[in-house]
Amino acid sequence: MSFTATFFQTAALGNFPVLPFVRAAVGVSALAGLAMFFKPLLTGIARALIMVVHPRLSKDEQASRRLMRDAQLFKRMINASQGPSDAAELRAMSARD
């Protein structure tokens, strides 16, 4: 037996109010429909709020962070290298930029 048939039989047999449940189901489905319809708008608003809280870095700031990260990576690699030839090669690689 389906849920709907069981639900309405229970409502018909007992003193069980059906209207509040039907009203809630219609309200939830209407809210879901509106959310799906306005999803692009809501997504844009959410992105704008994120940009207000956490703005993007400029191209120069991104480049400087990338260079700093690369320098730190090379420094860790030099410290972890096995011999002087590895360290010299890593220093040469880091000097290319």
Binned at pLDDT 50, 70 and 90, residue 17 comes out as confident
Burial 2-13 (b: 16+ CB within 10 A, else e): eeeeeeeeeeee
Q: Which residue has the higher pLDDT, 84 or 66?
A: 66
What percent of the chain stands above pLDDT 90? Answer: 39
pLDDT at 87 over 80: no
pLDDT at 74 over 70: yes
| Range scoring the smallest mean pLDDT among 21-35, 41-55, 74-88 | 74-88
Give pLDDT tens digits for 30-61: 999 999 999 999 999 999 999 999 888 899 99
pTM: 0.45
Task: Round the average pLDDT of the chain to a whole number and report it.
Answer: 83
Following DSSP, what letter does each residue of 2-62 receive, concatenated?
-HHHHHHHHHHHTT---HHHHHHHHHHHHHHHHHHHTHHHHHHHHHHHHHHHSPPPPHHHH
Where in the chain are the domains?
A: 3-50, 57-95
